[in-house]
Amino acid sequence: MIELQLTLAYISSIVMQAAEGAANQPMLTKEGAAAIGFGLSAIGAGMAERSIGSAAVGAIAEDDDMFVSGLILTVIPETIVIFGLVVVFII
């Protein structure tokens, strides 16, 4: 939760600087927007992986045959971060 609070604090500081700064300049550059988008996607993936990982460990503790399914379900949220990283490199 602290990551989300830090991100919101950063965004609010950008808005405050834009209000004080030049009127012609954009509030946020495209690199800054990509960084915020990537950070928020990483936070979302981490929150999803937290619950999926704990459920997968519980399922594996009860039945060893669930290892592959648990591993696949744990890795799926990380693809969101990989897609976000690809977008950052494209921009």
The whole domain housing 84 covers 32-91
pLDDT at 18: 62
Instruction: Tell me whether residue 64 is in a domain.
Output: yes
Is there a contact between 49 and 78 (Cβ–Cβ < 8 Å)?
yes
Number of domains, the chain: 1
Instruction: Tell me whether residue 23 is in a domain.
Output: no
- Its pTM stands at 0.62
Instruction: Tell me whether residue 58 is in a domain.
Output: yes
* 30-81 confidence digits (pLDDT tens): 888 888 888 888 888 888 888 888 899 999 999 888 899 988 988 888 888 8
Residues in Cβ contact with 4 at an 8 Å cutoff, skipping those fewer than 6 apart: 43
